[in-house]
Amino acid sequence: MGQSRPYRAKALVVEDDPMQREMIGLLLEESDFDVIACESAEAAELVLQRTGRKVVLMMTDVQLAGHMTGVELAHAAKKYNPDLEVIVTSGRPLRQRLPEGAMFWAKPWAPLDVIRVAETKASELQAAGGRSS
| C-alpha distances in Å from residue 56, one per residue of 87, 92, 125 | 11, 26, 9
What is the pLDDT confidence band of residue 3, given thresholds at 50, 70 and 90?
low
Q: Under 8 Å CB-to-CB from 109, ≥6 apart: which residues?
A: 89
Average pLDDT over residues 54-83: 96
| HSE-up (13 A, CA, CB side) for residue 127 | 6
Strands 9-14, 33-38: pairing kind: parallel
Higher pLDDT, 8 or 74: 74
State the pLDDT at residue 48. 96
Closest CA to 58 of 41, 100, 107, 3: 41
> Between these two residues, 80 and 132, which has the higher pLDDT value?
80
Q: Which whole number is the average pLDDT over 96-101?
A: 96
Summarize pLDDT for 4-60 with one digit per residue, the tens: 556 689 999 999 999 999 999 999 999 999 999 999 999 999 999 998 789 999 999
pLDDT value at 101 more than 50? yes
Question: C-alpha 31: how far from its chain's center?
Answer: 13
**Alpha carbon distances (Å) from 44 to 16, 50, 102, 118:** 12, 10, 16, 19
pLDDT for position 125: 87
Q: What is the pLDDT of residue 129?
A: 76
